[in-house]
Amino acid sequence: MALVFYSHSDEGGLFEKRFRAAIAEQLPDLEVRTWPEIGDASEVIYAALWLPPEGLFKALPNLTHIFALSAGVDRLLQARDLPSEVPIYRLEEGGMAAPMSQYVHYGVLHAQRQMGLYKEAQQRQQWKRDAAEPAAGDWEVGILGAGVLASAVAETLTVAGYPVRTWSRSRKQQAGVTSFAGWDELPAFCENLNTLVCLLPLTSDTDSIMNAELFNRLPKGTSLINVARGEHCVDEDLLTALDSGQISSALLDVFRQEPLPSDHPFWLHERIMMTPHIAAPTAGGIAAKQIAKGVADAAAGLQPAGFVDRKTGY
Amino acid sequence: MALVFYSHSDEGGLFEKRFRAAIAEQLPDLEVRTWPEIGDASEVIYAALWLPPEGLFKALPNLTHIFALSAGVDRLLQARDLPSEVPIYRLEEGGMAAPMSQYVHYGVLHAQRQMGLYKEAQQRQQWKRDAAEPAAGDWEVGILGAGVLASAVAETLTVAGYPVRTWSRSRKQQAGVTSFAGWDELPAFCENLNTLVCLLPLTSDTDSIMNAELFNRLPKGTSLINVARGEHCVDEDLLTALDSGQISSALLDVFRQEPLPSDHPFWLHERIMMTPHIAAPTAGGIAAKQIAKGVADAAAGLQPAGFVDRKTGY
């Protein structure tokens, strides 16, 4: 009985080290083998993976559980040799809730406190106060998504005094947060928003959801934060909306191609603030422990957390 | 019996309107007169002021209470005709706690999440992740000051997971916050800091407290947030510390001269983020009500909140 481990990027092997330690603590008898050194492939029944190379699944005929090292499984589900019957589990929280909440809170504060306008004024050496000075209670934040991370972000923002709404496939219950559900309610969700945050899973339904049509439903001057996937956003539509002022500014952590190509117009756009997919790093000890817990649950015959419904894609 | 009102800047007279409404509600019989239309000066026993012009105090011989429309009274105490025996009360909170906490939280997030480095990388079109990714729990924040606003900021940051310490003249008690007191403990206060925040009152003791000596006590790379008074900071020493990397970045809301002169080197320094004294606007309904409450207390023979000790200067 063995588990195969593969992470597309793991600087210094730090995450693998943490994961092996967590497995050693929770399942001391389970052997962890690092792809491609899989030994006797027939013994490998678990896989813990981020962006696995083609051929990995074909080489492992006896897999019973696949654990994703990430919250999003859009790329994993696209693997051509992915076995159709093996259940997949994704990282639901993985220590990402705290840094994700920090990052989005930063972006909301940046917009609410007009820090972009002050930056532009500073560049022009202009002492210029913004008359508006909106309070947190008057700054409406809408989150596309209502999963584990979106709920954590919604709670942080609610505690900070912002009115928060979420939009998801099915209706959700969260204290102090207004839930909008389904495509029919998307226009109502957009009304009076000041900041729109994307925290959706990437599926065929949500691909390109942030397009000209959605931007035009928002009040003029809404700010945008994308911490989900680059594919959620139609880049050209965002540039058009920024140039017309329909979208006032964007904080982007994710891109259709990463690293973002050096000739992409986002780099030097003065109303775009960019970070290199660092909003919520997963390479922490908490993620390692949560995945190891899932493997231990599977070994004990229990259902691990984070089961992925392949029909909905998350 | 009358009160004289004066505010050096009050766009659209909005604050005066709110203050008059608050007085009308709490003390309907008190007449509010706006300087310089003081009517019979002998009837004026209260003054509510921000940056009063020279001559105001001399013209009002019967003042019994002076109410500052601000938290800091450094300028008021310098007024040459300030009567020496009339008690002064300052605005202790004035609705400033929430915006001040937001502003400082923004600055701490900016530093902790390395947003300055990402901004520089974006300008160079470089996709560059910062390996450190420090957690909030590992980001030590030190606040110079421990008054009403500093305590509110400390609470916000503590809730957000940052270890917080304050420094003040006398020892303070606040849940989850470490208190350092007096000049002897300033070196210990500086140890291992990641972000230093100035929220001190400006007095002869605290003038120029942020100088080369203090900066050199901090760990190399500490970031700075000044939301108190420009006079707390020695500008040349800050520039030297920024250029050597001793201070990694500065978020400045206050300056020795405001508006900041257009030839000042702060404007275009790439490690300085500047805002035009907007961290905690006082022109809100809450401030008006709190000052009116102080006047009502005085009229009822009670001691209003915010009594200023002229010896300490706050």
Nearest-neighbour CA in chain B from A9: distance (Å): 12
Q: Residues A171, A173, A177, A178: what is their CA dihedral angle, to the nearest 10 degrees?
A: 30
Q: What is the mean pLDDT of residues A118-129?
A: 94
**Residue of A65, A90, A110, A229 marked active site:** A229
Closest partner residue to A161 (CB to CB) among B98, B129, B275 is B98
Q: Which residues of A touch B265 (CB under 8 A)?
A: none
Domains defined for chain B, CATH in brackets: 2-94+283-299 (3.40.50.720), 97-274 (3.40.50.720)
Q: Does A278 touch chain B (CB under 8 A)?
A: yes
Which amino acid would we find at residue B166?
T
Phi, psi of A116 (to 5 degrees): -65, -40
Closest partner residue to A129 (CB to CB) among B99, B123, B276 is B276
Q: With contact defined as beta carbons under 8 Å apart, do B114 and B132 qualify?
A: yes
Confidence at A281, pLDDT banded by 50, 70, 90:
confident
Mutate to test the interface with A, among B96, B103, B113, B124 (most CBs of A within 10 A): B113
- The predicted pLDDT at position B203 comes to 96
Burial of B124 (0-12, 13-18, 19+ CB in 10 A): exposed
Confidence at A9, pLDDT banded by 50, 70, 90:
confident
Q: Which residues of B touch A125 (CB under 8 A)?
A: 262, 267-268
Mutate to test the interface with B, among A122, A252, A274 (most CBs of B within 10 A): A122
Q: With contact defined as beta carbons under 8 Å apart, do B98 and A112 qualify?
A: no
Q: Which residues of B touch A273 (CB under 8 A)?
A: 115, 118-119, 122
CB atoms within 10 A of CB A271: 16
Q: Does B240 touch chain A (CB under 8 A)?
A: no
How many H-runs (helices) and E-runs (strands) does chain B carry?
Answer: 9, 12
Contact yes or no for B103 and A122 at CB 8 A: no
- The predicted pLDDT at position B283 comes to 60
- The predicted pLDDT at position A11 comes to 79
Q: Which residues of B touch A269 (CB under 8 A)?
A: none
Contact yes or no for A102 and B109 at CB 8 A: yes
How many H-runs (helices) and E-runs (strands) does chain A carry?
Answer: 10, 12
Q: Which residues of B92-110 are buried (b: 16+ CB within 10 A; e: fewer)?
A: bbbbbbbbbbbbbbbbbbb
Which of these, B44, B8, B3, B40, lies nearest to B22 by C-alpha position? B3
User: A66-81 pLDDT, tens per residue?
Assistant: 999 999 999 999 999 9
Q: With contact defined as beta carbons under 8 Å apart, do A149 and A281 qualify?
A: no
Q: Which residues of A touch B258 (CB under 8 A)?
A: 127
Closest partner residue to B109 (CB to CB) among A106, A133, A281 is A106
Instruction: Please tell me whether the overall predicted TM-score, pTM, comes out greater than 0.90 for this model.
Output: yes
Q: Chain A residue with minimal CA distance to B260?
A: A127
- The predicted pLDDT at position B285 comes to 82
- The predicted pLDDT at position A283 comes to 61
Q: What is the mean pLDDT of residues A112-128?
A: 95
- The predicted pLDDT at position A139 comes to 98
Nearest-neighbour CA in chain A from B89: distance (Å): 26
Residue by residue, pLDDT tens for chain B (314 residues) are: 999 999 998 878 989 999 999 999 999 999 999 999 999 999 999 999 999 999 999 999 999 999 999 999 999 999 999 999 999 999 988 899 999 999 999 999 999 999 999 999 999 999 998 767 899 999 999 999 999 999 999 999 999 999 999 999 999 999 999 999 999 999 999 999 999 999 999 999 999 999 999 999 999 999 999 999 999 999 999 999 999 999 999 999 999 999 999 999 999 999 999 999 999 987 678 889 999 999 999 999 999 999 999 999 99
Residues of B that are catalytic: 229, 277
Q: How far is CA A291 from CA A25, A120, A160, in A?
A: 12, 44, 31
Which amino acid would we find at residue B185?
E
Q: Which residues of A touch B195 (CB under 8 A)?
A: none
- The predicted pLDDT at position A284 comes to 74
Report chain A's C-alpha Rg in angstroms. 21
Contacts of A143 (CB under 8 A, 6+ apart): A150, A153, A154, A164, A165, A166, A167, A197, A198, A199
Q: Which two tokens mark A97?
A: 């809730």
Q: Does B161 touch chain A (CB under 8 A)?
A: yes
Closest partner residue to B106 (CB to CB) among A110, A123, A128 is A110
DSSP A124: T
**Known catalytic membership, residue A20:** no
Which of these, B63, B59, B16, lies nearest to B44 by C-alpha position? B63
**Percent of all residues in chain A with a pLDDT value above 70, rounded to a whole number:** 99
Phi, psi of A247 (to 5 degrees): -105, 130
Place of tokens 């003065």: A270
User: A200-211 pLDDT, tens per residue?
Assistant: 999 999 999 999
Please determine, for residue A131, whether its predicted confidence score (pLDDT) is greater than 90.
Answer: no
